[in-house]
Amino acid sequence: MTLNAISTVLPTLHPAVVHLPIALLLTALVFDVGCLVIRRLIWLDRASAALTVLGTAGLLAAVVTGDHAAEAAASVTGPAAGLLTDHADLALLTFGAWFVAMLLRVYVWWLGCDDRRVHIGIYRLASLTVSLVAAWMLVVTATSGHALVFHHGVGVLLN
């Protein structure tokens, strides 16, 4: 595949790529909360860490394909243009927040990798707090993306 062909395909990948990391990261957060409630289910802790890593990697792919989609939508004007810029900025901030949450989550996993029961400590609480903020940012970013597509028709092909 040539570089030109990749540049043509990337904008159309964004809608396909963006939904999986959202699902993975929100599921990871639910599993993390589950760890606090049912501390004997250590698999929730391991699954949460794995989902956070996979979801953050997927979020990076969503940001990259989103940048290419934004370049392809450069002709957008009016309120949609401002929303497109805001969406791109929010996406970068959201990725940064999830990256920090991922680092903390992996550290929490590493601290408890030999444990047979989920321990609640300062790093787990910090990880959960950052994940909650990152999840809120993810929802705000997704809402702005939704508005771009469904209210302004950005990226929608009309025949």
Taking only the tens place, the pLDDT of each residue in 34-66 is 998 998 989 999 999 999 999 999 999 999 988
Place of tokens 């964004």: 14
pTM of the shown model? 0.84
pLDDT tens-digit readout, 92-126: 999 999 999 999 999 999 998 888 778 788 999 99
| Mean residue pLDDT across the chain | 84
